Every structure is written in C-alpha cells, then in structure tokens.
Amino acid sequence: MKPKILVIGDLMIDHYLWGECDRISPEAPVAVVDIRSENKRLGGAGNVMANLKALDCDVGVMSVVGDDESGKDIVLMLENMGVKIEKILKEKDRKSAHKTRIMVVHQQVIRFDKESKDDILESSKDELLNSLKNIIKNYDAVLLSDYAKGVLRDDFCKQIIKIANENSKFILIDPKGSDYSKYKNATLLTPNLKEAMQALKMKIDDEPSLKLALKRLKDELNLTYSIITLSERGIALYNNDEVKIIPAIAKEVFDVTGAGDTVLATLGYALSNKMDIVSALSLANKAAAVVVGKVGSATASLDEIEKYSKSSSSTNLEEKIKSLDEICQILKNSDKKIVFTNGCFDILHAGHIKYLNKAKKLGDILIIGLNSDSSVKRLKGKTRPINSQNSRALLLSALEFVDFVVIFDEDTPLNLIEKIRPDILVKGADYAGKEVIGSNIAKEVVLVDFEDGFSTTNIINKIKG
C-alpha cells in the first residue's frame, strides 16, 4: 500500500537559466553569460512533494501563494505533478516566491529572488486548519516544509502539530529560524548542524556537545526522535541516552540544493511504511547521496537508491547484515524475486563463491541465512566454527552478488523462511532425494551443483597436515 502523505509549507518556483561564459563584460568586471536554455521546477515544499512522488507516495498539499502569475504557475505545476491539491489559497497582496538561478558549467553564478515573507492572513490560517481537520484521517503523515516565507506562522504550526497528534499521525518538520518552540511535540525535526547551533544557542564541535544538543532538542521540544544532520558525516540520532551516527555514503557531491527536502521526504516515506528509525535514517542517507550527485533540486527514486546502495556496498559492508525484522521491513510490498539459501560458510572458498553466484542469477535479491556460532557448534562440533559469525557475515557481505545476510541461532532456517517467504529456496545438489526444510513455503526449490574439490572440512584437515 502506498504511503499517503500531506505536505504543508512554503511553495516556490526554482527558475534555472543555463548558459556558457567565455568573456568579461566591457561595461563592468562581471561575467557575460550566454543563456542557452531555461527550466522551472517547484521548490521549497514542492521539492519535498517531488521527492515523495519519486518514492511512489500518494501526496496531498496545503499552502498559500500570491494572486499573481507565479502563483498560477505554482498551481499548474502542482496539477502536472499529480499531487492532490487539498487547499491552495491565494492572497491578493502576496508575492509568490520565485527564485532565479544563473548556472554556468553546472555552477551557480548568482541568484535573485522575488517573494513575500510576511505571515499569511488570519483568515487563511483558519480556512486551512478547518480543511486539515476534515482530511487528516486520509493521511499517514504530515510533513511541514518551513522556508520562513510566512505560511507556517507560529500559531498555525502549533495547531497543525496538535491536530496530527490527536489523530495519531506522524508529524515531521524541516525547521527554520532560531526559535523552535513552535515545533514542540513533533515526531522529529531535521535541522543541520548550523541550524541546531543557532536554535540552541550553543557550539557543537565534539561528541559530548553533540549529545547535549540532541538531548536538549528531545527534552525541550518533547520530540519522539531527536536527530541532527551532519552533512558528509551522516545523521546523528539520540537513542537510549546514546548518540548513534548513521554514516553518509555520498561518493561525489555536485550540488546540495534540496538535499534537506530529500531527507524529510524519505523519512516520511520510511516511517509511514513502519520502518524503525535507524533503518529510516539509513534510507534517508542513501536518498540524499543520490540527490547530491545531481545538479539542481533533484529527487531519488527507490530504484536509484537501490542501485546507489549496491554500488557503495564495498565501503558499507555492514549495511548488508540485517536482523530478521529489518529484512521483513525491507521486503515489505516488494515485487522483487527473492532467493534464499543458508549455511555455515565457516571458511569461505571458491566453491561457495560459485554456488552463491549461481543462486543470485535465479532472482533479484539474494538473502543468506548464516548459522550463528552456537548453531555451528551444535551442528559441527565443539572445534567449530573457525571464524566468528561477525567475520563470516562480513566476508559474505563483500560479495557483490550477495544482497543481505541474516544470522540465525536455530539449528535450521525454518523460522527465517517462514518470515521471509522466498520465491526460490536454493540448496546444494547433495539434497537430491532428501527433504529440504522450507520447501513447503518457498514457491520453488532449486538444487545447485557444488564445485568438485572444495570443502571446508578438507581445508581444515589440510591445514592440520
């Protein structure tokens, strides 16, 4: 089922003029840009919605614009995006936000803005709140995109949060300004390091100060989750009186425009899909990594995130090692063909490599159930395993064709198979004529030949001489 997410906040037009420059003006010491093309996109809350649409969400919107040409363009662009316009009000004396950027060889040269920053009218606030009370039941989460352009005035913001909480909806906010009191009781905020220091009026330059800042945000604002985005370091989470940093994975950064919108949208998508907060933050990091590798306000689709995650796996091997609950959440509503196999993989050898490579080719996602140390000891004897479960899991994760590794403690993988419900269950050809555990659950059982001459037991005996 698609998450249904309502976005409320400041809408604007991001206008890009793309050109080339090979001379300086004779009139003044400035570059002469030869404009070759131009395009317009929805920015601000519009970029949040574009990211949600890229994640295949059903999206609704509420906001206020000016009664001008830019306001008309914003409404038309919303319609073309395919979002549900719950309520867009137009105020006569308001200037719709319009930001023009001149780009030369993928670099922003200058930006000029036309906009109003005054708070929306009292009548606009009341009309939006009345509409919100009627439609809130139709959504899983509410995202507030605050660009300090006047839509999310203090009293309006507080009432939105109150209504969302009364209806048990997630309320996620990209904050602005130095006073966060209007965001009290939200599910979470997404400030970056600079914004957090400004709001808390404190310096954050080491782990103790980061922990204090996260704790203050959580306690003073009564947040469900307290996070601070740390740019290239990742995202810091305050959890059980400890700070956990979910590392960033961006390989190349071309433009950070809109990365905060991507994080907000991805967290809304993930929490609405009932992902735990650590998994949600990890997904948000991956989405942000995709976006900063593009130029201009951009989005990240689920396919792009998956491809980027695979291409980065060599430096984030632990990301492939998942708990059973995490795997079930990842696979929820997936239409991919799931391949499952299991084993001890005590000393990884060429026979294992060829076996797993063949297994991967049978579907889209290969999941390995890995026997824990205690499980191996019961099955193989007190001298096994040679390598610990963490070492074995890490080695398997280094294989490009392995997507996930799940460690299990039972003697058989039946519980894993019951929960994962793979399309294809793979075992070695030596199971021919034998009962394969889980064969009544998987759609298909495939027996794969082992390579001759490879055996963990033989390797161990050879080492012993």
- The binding site consists of 192-195
DSSP-assigned letter for residue 318: G
Helix orientation angle between 259-272 and 277-292, rounded to the nearest 10 degrees: 150
Residues annotated within a binding site for ATP: 192-195
Helix (H) or strand (E) holding 367: strand 365-371
CA distance 182 to 151: 13
Residues facing 114 on adjacent strands: 98
Q: Which residues neighbour 175 within 8 Å (Cβ) at sequence distance 6 or greater? A: 146, 183, 189, 190, 191, 195, 199
Q: Give the strand order in the sheet containing 226-229.
A: 226-229, 234-239, 242-247
Buried b or exposed e, range 200-221, using 16+ CB within 10 angstroms: beeebeeeeebbebbebbbeeb
**Catalytic-labelled residue, pool 10, 68, 261, 403:** 261
Q: Which residues neighbour 41 within 8 Å (Cβ) at sequence distance 6 or greater? A: 13, 14, 16, 47, 50, 77, 296, 297
Is residue 261 among the annotated active site residues? yes
Instruction: Compute CA distances 312 → 279, 305, 308, 330, whole Å.
Output: 17, 10, 6, 18
| E strands, 202-319, in order | 226-229, 234-239, 242-247
CA distance 301 to 311: 15
CA distance 405 to 368: 5
Start-end of H helices in 273-323: 277-292, 302-311
Query: Rounded to the nearest 5°, which phi and psi values hold at 226?
Result: -115, 120
Structural contact between residues 97 and 72, judged by C-beta atoms closer than 8 angstroms:
no
Structural contact between residues 21 and 108, judged by C-beta atoms closer than 8 angstroms:
no
CA distance 118 to 99: 17
Q: Name which of 402, 341, 337 is nearest 363 in CA terms.
A: 337
Write out the two tokens for 354.
Answer: 């060829």
DSSP-assigned letter for residue 93: T
The catalytic residue positions are 261
